[in-house]
Amino acid sequence: MTAARIAAWRRTSAGRAGVLALAVASGLWACTAPPAATRRPALRVAHSALDFDDMPSYVANATLEADGYQVEDTSFALTELAVEALARGNAEFASGSVRSFWVAAARGAPVLTVMAQVGNMHRLVVRQDVSGCRDLEGRRLALQSEGAIGTAFVRRYFAEACPKLVPQTVFVPQSENRAAALLSGHVDATVLELAVYHWLDRQAPGRFRVLEDFSTRWPDLIATVVNANSDFAKQHPAAVRDYVRARVLANRAVSADPSLLVEHAKRAFGDSEELASVAKLYGSLQAFDTAGGLTAEGIAATLTFLQAQGELPHSVVPAQVADLSFLVGALRDLPELLPRLAGRWPG
Amino acid sequence: MARLNARSIGWHAGTAVTIGLLWEAAARAADSLLVPPASATLAALWRLLAHTEFWTALWVSNQALLVGLPAAAAAGIVVGLALGRWPALARWCDPHVHILLVAPKIAFIPLVIMALGLGLLSRATVVAAFAFPIIAVTVQSGVRSVDPRLVDMARAFCAREAQIWRRVLLPGARPAIATALRLGLARAIAGMVSVELTLVAVGLGQLVLRFRADFDAASLYAAVLVVVAEAVLLVRLATLLEHRLGSSSPMAVAE
């Protein structure tokens, strides 16, 4: 074979390979994309607030939209409004505090937890001179509000660690206000989400520390959840499974590459130095569970915890508040889908 | 007059019943977690009124109003009178007062916490911050609306500044001061509730947050109804005061 013929053969082979690759890609697309006649339901996603915990949801939108879903996100100022939107069918999915969604489910609202949103990010943050819970005797402790999951964590912690302790409790609903109170010395301890603590630590390095990390104290407890409208889930189980699968894939993607979180957070909050370090922190903690974070043990432990704290009636059973089948189905789908979906992540 | 009052009461009662019926129908149709039927709300109100915890919460909430509103009224009236009387001062201060009027006060709450802590003082300060600008601006308009010819006439009769204030400006601004207090009161009540929902959850704000978290919408609206009833009552009293003060004219006093 002459050099010219070899070169011509190579060109032809490359061309054939290109055509073949295109054909395979088109075939794969045809397999994964819905036929024109198949109508995917629109997915409206309600967020309790626009914060870092919601970023995988935005990452998941790319997969869902490639699968033919139209996704519309709405951020509410209150978890209760997201719950209401879900319960009334104004949203198909909603995420936020487990307590809010389960209290609503216990009241008969058609809401069902389908996966965990993010790991337990609540921390009991104290001034540096507080070495243990006994040091908080008579000192000021800022809690969120009655009915907040963070308040339940702190109360349980004191009941277990320092049962006779009586700190002066003051309720400060917003985390940035609790951080401001801690920073200005008006309180000695408070419950904060990890991202807020991180901000606080950058404002006043070394002045505060985490006295208790609730995620390690009670590793089975689920703090925040992703929920589906149960009527929608009955009518469109495949869509719920697709959504859960997309969210799990998003969790895997952001865990592998925290810069994805930063990219989406920049779009949501604007550029800031803080974002990269918080994303790194979330990545290092594997905050977004790559298996969806919802287990039968976790549901049972969280239910028992909330019931013991008087937050939920004892009559509530796991089937009333959560359904694992969508997550189990989505996880079963993943090994075969991963190669096809791998190229779809933005960035 | 008695017939008119009876008709007026009947009209108001009829309106309340109509609104109640519409509310009941809408809530039942909506079947919402956060919108309870009127009947459930009234039942919850009855239960709430029987609890000492509720009355304690009402008292705690009103402490901020009792401290914050008089402070805002005193400062607002003084500033408003001064701005109305001296245009040079107004030119310098007007932008700042108007910024206070339109600024979203909730955004400044972390600063209030940093400066004043989490006690009654900070709550009263936020209540005052809600009420002060509207009082100052309304009083300023009232002073400006006094006929300048009356001031000129007083000057022509060799009235001193103190006499101009006592005989012309204050009587002339009196209706505006009463209006300012009424508007300030409404703003202060809004501030009283806002501060408890965002700054420090005490009093009625704490109850509202708990009811909201428990999706106990009937109790939540019952607590809100109490705040509304208090606001209506106080604003009504302020309106009566406004009418009494408004009946005197600066001309009559000047004469």
CATH code at position B118: 1.10.3720.10
Residue closest to A215 by CA, chosen among A319, A310, A279, A286: A286
pLDDT tier for residue A338 given thresholds of 50, 70 and 90: low
- Looking at the structure, do residues B25 and B50 belong to the same domain, yes or no? no
Q: Which residues of chain B have pLDDT under 50?
A: 1-2, 250-255
Average pLDDT of A37-46? 81
- Looking at the structure, do residues B10 and B129 belong to the same domain, yes or no? no
Chain B residues lying within 8 Å of A181, measured CB to CB: 113, 117-118
- Looking at the structure, do residues B12 and B77 belong to the same domain, yes or no? no
Chain A: give the shortest CA distance to residue B98, in Å: 26
- E strand residue ranges, chain A: 43-47, 71-75, 93-97, 111-116, 122-127, 140-143, 168-171, 189-193, 208-213, 224-229
Contact A151, A144 (CB under 8 A): yes
Quote the percentage of chain A above a pLDDT of 70: 86
What integer pLDDT is reported at residue A9 of this predicted model?
46
What does residue A324 show for φ and ψ, rounded to 5 degrees? -80, -15
- Looking at the structure, do residues B43 and B24 belong to the same domain, yes or no? no
Amino acid (1-letter code) at residue A258: P
B197 touches chain A (CB under 8 A): yes
Residue closest to A204 by CA, chosen among A193, A196, A212, A216: A196
Quote the percentage of chain A above a pLDDT of 90: 59
- Looking at the structure, do residues B242 and B139 belong to the same domain, yes or no? yes
Distance CA B115, CA A180 (A): 10
Yes or no, beta carbons of B200 and A109 under 8 Å apart: no
CA atoms within 13 A on the CB side of A96: 30
Average pLDDT of A131-155? 91
Residues in chain B: 255
Yes or no, beta carbons of A172 and B213 under 8 Å apart: no
Say how far residue A78 (Cα) sits from the centre of its chain.
Answer: 16
What integer pLDDT is reported at residue A346 of this predicted model?
41
Yes or no, beta carbons of A177 and B209 under 8 Å apart: no
- Looking at the structure, do residues B205 and B123 belong to the same domain, yes or no? yes
What integer pLDDT is reported at residue B82 of this predicted model?
93
Average pLDDT of A258-285? 82
What does residue B237 show for φ and ψ, rounded to 5 degrees? -60, -40
- Looking at the structure, do residues B6 and B59 belong to the same domain, yes or no? no
- Looking at the structure, do residues B79 and B125 belong to the same domain, yes or no? yes
| A6 pLDDT more than 80 | no
What integer pLDDT is reported at residue A4 of this predicted model?
44
Yes or no, beta carbons of B214 and A87 under 8 Å apart: no
Chain A residues lying within 8 Å of B223, measured CB to CB: none
What integer pLDDT is reported at residue A77 of this predicted model?
83
* Nearest Cβ partner for A181 among B118, B202, B206: B118
What integer pLDDT is reported at residue A212 of this predicted model?
95
* Nearest Cβ partner for B200 among A104, A148, A170: A170
* Nearest Cβ partner for A80 among B115, B198, B215: B215
Residue closest to B118 by CA, chosen among A186, A166, A184, A126: A186
| A165 pLDDT more than 90 | no
- Our count of domains for chain B comes to 2
Domain that residue B6 falls in: 1-31
Average pLDDT of A70-74? 93
- Looking at the structure, do residues B120 and B242 belong to the same domain, yes or no? yes
What integer pLDDT is reported at residue A39 of this predicted model?
73
- Looking at the structure, do residues B85 and B204 belong to the same domain, yes or no? yes
| A132 pLDDT more than 60 | yes
Chain B: give the shortest CA distance to residue A170, in Å: 7
Average pLDDT of A282-289? 88
Instruction: Retrieve residue A344's tokens.
Output: 């779809």
- In B203-222, the residues whose Cβ lies within 8 Å of chain A are 206, 209-210, 212-215
Contact B86, B209 (CB under 8 A): no
Chain B residues lying within 8 Å of A186, measured CB to CB: 113, 117-118
| A340 pLDDT more than 60 | no
Q: Which CATH class is domain A43-119+222-344?
A: alpha beta
* Nearest Cβ partner for A147 among B34, B110, B210: B210
CATH number, span A122-217: 3.40.190.10
pLDDT tier for residue A141 given thresholds of 50, 70 and 90: very high
Top residue of A76, A80, A140, A151 to mutate, by most chain B CBs within 10 Å, is A80
User: ipTM of this complex > 0.85?
Assistant: no
- Looking at the structure, do residues B222 and B236 belong to the same domain, yes or no? yes
What integer pLDDT is reported at residue A20 of this predicted model?
44
Tens digits of residue pLDDT in B141-172: 999 888 888 888 888 888 888 899 888 888 88
Distance CA B180, CA B141 (A): 10
| A63 pLDDT more than 70 | yes
Top residue of B214, B216, B220, B221 to mutate, by most chain A CBs within 10 Å, is B214
Tens digits of residue pLDDT in B205-215: 999 999 999 99
* Nearest Cβ partner for B200 among A80, A83, A171: A171
- Looking at the structure, do residues B74 and B191 belong to the same domain, yes or no? yes
Looking at chain A, the domain(s) classified CATH 3.40.190.10 span 43-119+222-344, 122-217
Top-confidence residue, A23 or B144: B144
